[in-house]
Amino acid sequence: MTTDSRVVVVTGASSGIGRATALQAADRGEHLVLVARGESALQETFGECRDRGAASVAVHVGDVGDDAVVEKVVADILEQHGRIDAVVHCAGVVAYGRTEDVPAEVFDGVLRTNLIGSVNVARHVVPVMRRQERGALVLIGSVIGHIGVPSMSPYVLSKWGVRALARQLQLENRDVPGLSVSYVAPGGVDTPIYEQAANYDGFVGRPPPPVAKPDRVAEVALRRIDHPRARTQVGLANDVIRLGFSATPWAFDVLVGPLFRIAAMDRTTPVPPDAGNVLASRPGGNRLLGAQGNALLGVGRNIAAAVTGSRTGQRS
Ligand SMILES: NC(=O)c1ccc[n+]([C@@H]2O[C@H](COP(=O)([O-])OP(=O)(O)OC[C@H]3O[C@@H](n4cnc5c(N)ncnc54)[C@H](OP(=O)(O)O)[C@@H]3O)[C@@H](O)[C@H]2O)c1
């Protein structure tokens, strides 16, 4: 163990952006604390981090939506390391479906992980960092935390909430200059979250182009530990989308539905109603990258399907 390595906590570390963040932090020789619900995928990340040079790696299997779990994880970290230098909070889930079609427990489950989970992390980490008079909390939001999207109500609400939480925390901690809260909002990222999502929309979701690799978001998130910034958008498309939502809502509202169906759904792959990984982990689906292939080809397939009418969803 090196003495100058930092204690970096990564939630959602078994898949996608969290896994990429953990691996990059391991490359830097940090002490890593990995958190997620499913143990097997988390253990895979553990092995990868250890092999890539982490100063130490600890695994905590737990649900960030459970306040007592987060409290215990933080207590355990303090017992082991005596401090927390940084937290990159990536744990997240998605549900597709109209507001009235997503079952209540699934709707609440998305809010519980994405929003309440972020609150739980802040509730227990911020006091530690305030006592230390230093530390970095990085919250992963989404471009969807700035706009409206049909058939993603719980996710939209949760991510608007994460953005609001980040702003609140920034206001509340202005008196501790060494403590930073950074909000990072990716656009489409090639991770398994779309295939893992709960789905009551009839077709599987997919990341819309331009699609970033999780490594790109991880780089930005880790940079925010040393170079905090209140708000970061990952990808220029985010700015265009946000501008459209705010400046021309009449055009946005007309276009977002059809564009979402063509660019952010796989209209060739129908799926039955399913709670996905919202209520419980499906560790077999947790990987670094998604498995849906090139986004532009996906758009092309959707257009072809629409033209030929081979798959017509009820709500096209
Ligand atoms: N992929 C994108 O296009 C995209 C775009 C914008 C923002 N984001 C955001 O980026 C973050 C990471 O997403 P991702 O795409 O990397 O997703 P992902 O590949 O599905 O990974 C999600 C991770 O969170 C963990 N997790 C889920 N619920 C949890 C809970 N209640 N407690 C603890 N861990 C939990 C998962 O493991 P277990 O299920 O085993 O717990 C997994 O490790 C999320 O906040 C997401 O909203 C993603």
- The more confident residue out of 292 and 233 is 233
Which pLDDT band holds residue 18 (cuts at 50, 70, 90)?
very high
* pLDDT above 60 (res 1): no
217 Cα–ligand 1 center, Å: 13
Query: Contact at 8 Å (CB) between 147 and 242?
Result: yes
pLDDT at 313: 46
What is the Å distance from ligand 1's center to 17 Cα? 7
Q: Which string of b and e fits 26-36 if b means at least 16 CB within 10 Å?
A: bebbbbbbbbb
Which residue is catalytic, options 96, 155, 194, 200? Answer: 155
Distance CA 134, CA 122 (A): 14
Q: What is the pLDDT of residues 167-188, one digit of tens each?
A: 999 999 999 999 999 999 999 9
Q: Specify the CATH class of 7-308 in words.
A: alpha beta
Q: What is the mean pLDDT of residues 300-312?
A: 77
What average pLDDT does the structure give for the chain?
95
**Is the pLDDT confidence value at 242 over 60?**
yes
Q: How confident is the model at residue 312 (pLDDT cuts 50, 70, 90)?
A: very low
Q: How many A from CA of 150 to the centre of ligand 1?
A: 20
Residues in contact with ligand 1 by the CB-under-6-Å rule are 11-18, 35-38, 41, 63-65, 90-93, 113, 117, 140, 142, 186, 188-189, 191-193, 196, 207, 214, 277, 281, 283, 286
Nearest CA to ligand 1 atom 11: 90
Residue 18 CA: which ligand 1 atom is closest?
16
Spans of all domains in the chain: 7-308
Which pLDDT tens digit goes with each residue over 139-161? 999 999 999 999 999 999 999 99
Write the pLDDT tens digit of every residue in 275-287: 999 999 999 999 9
pLDDT tens for each residue of 55-71: 999 999 999 999 999 99
pLDDT of residue 314: 42
pLDDT of residue 305: 85
At 241, is the pLDDT very low, low, confident or very high (cuts 50, 70, 90)?
Answer: very high
Please give the pLDDT value at position 3: 56
Residue 235, pLDDT > 90, answer: no
Residue 316 has pLDDT above 90, yes or no: no
pLDDT at position 310: 56
